[in-house]
Structure 1
Amino acid sequence: MRRARVVVAHRAPDRPPIQVARGETVMLGERDGDWPQFVWTTALDVNAAEGHGGWVPAALFDNPSGLAIALSDYDTRELDAATDEILTLHHELAQWWWAQNVLGVQGWIPARSLELLDDTTDDDPSDPTS
Structure 2
Amino acid sequence: MQARLRRDYRPVNRDPIAFKAGERVVLGERDTEWPEFIMATDPRGKRGWVHQDRLDGDLAVRDYDARELEANAGDVVHLLELAGGWWWAENQIGECGWLPERDLDIDPGIK
Pairing of 1:13-32 with structure 2 (within 5 A): 13-32=12-31
- Find the aligned partners of 1:29 and 1:15 in 2 and give their Cα distance: 20
- Find the aligned partners of 2:2 and 2:81 in 1 and give their Cα distance: 11
Residues 11/57 of structure 1: CA separation in 2 closer, same or farther (3 Å cut): same
Q: Are the aligned partners of 2:86 and 2:98 in contact in 1 as well (CA < 8 Å)? A: yes
TM superposition shift of 1:21 = 1.0
SS in 2 for 1:23: coil
- Find the aligned partners of 2:105 and 2:82 in 1 and give their Cα distance: 14
SS in 2 for 1:112: helix
Alignment: residue pair count:
111
Structure number with greater Rg is: 1
- Find the aligned partners of 1:100 and 1:36 in 2 and give their Cα distance: 25
- Find the aligned partners of 1:81 and 1:32 in 2 and give their Cα distance: 24
SS in 2 for 1:98: strand
Q: Are the aligned partners of 2:31 and 2:37 in contact in 1 as well (CA < 8 Å)? A: yes
Gap regions ≥5 residues in structure 2? none
Gap regions ≥5 residues in structure 1? 123-130
Name the counterpart of 2:79: 89
CA deviations 1:79-126 (Å, max 9, x no partner) are 0111111111112122211111112211010111101112x444xxxx
- Find the aligned partners of 2:106 and 2:14 in 1 and give their Cα distance: 28
Name the counterpart of 1:59: 53
RMSD: 1.5
Q: Give TM-score scaled by structure 1 length.
A: 0.78
Residues 84/39 of structure 1: CA separation in 2 closer, same or farther (3 Å cut): same
- Find the aligned partners of 1:107 and 1:97 in 2 and give their Cα distance: 8
- Find the aligned partners of 2:35 and 2:87 in 1 and give their Cα distance: 17
SS in 1 for 2:56: coil
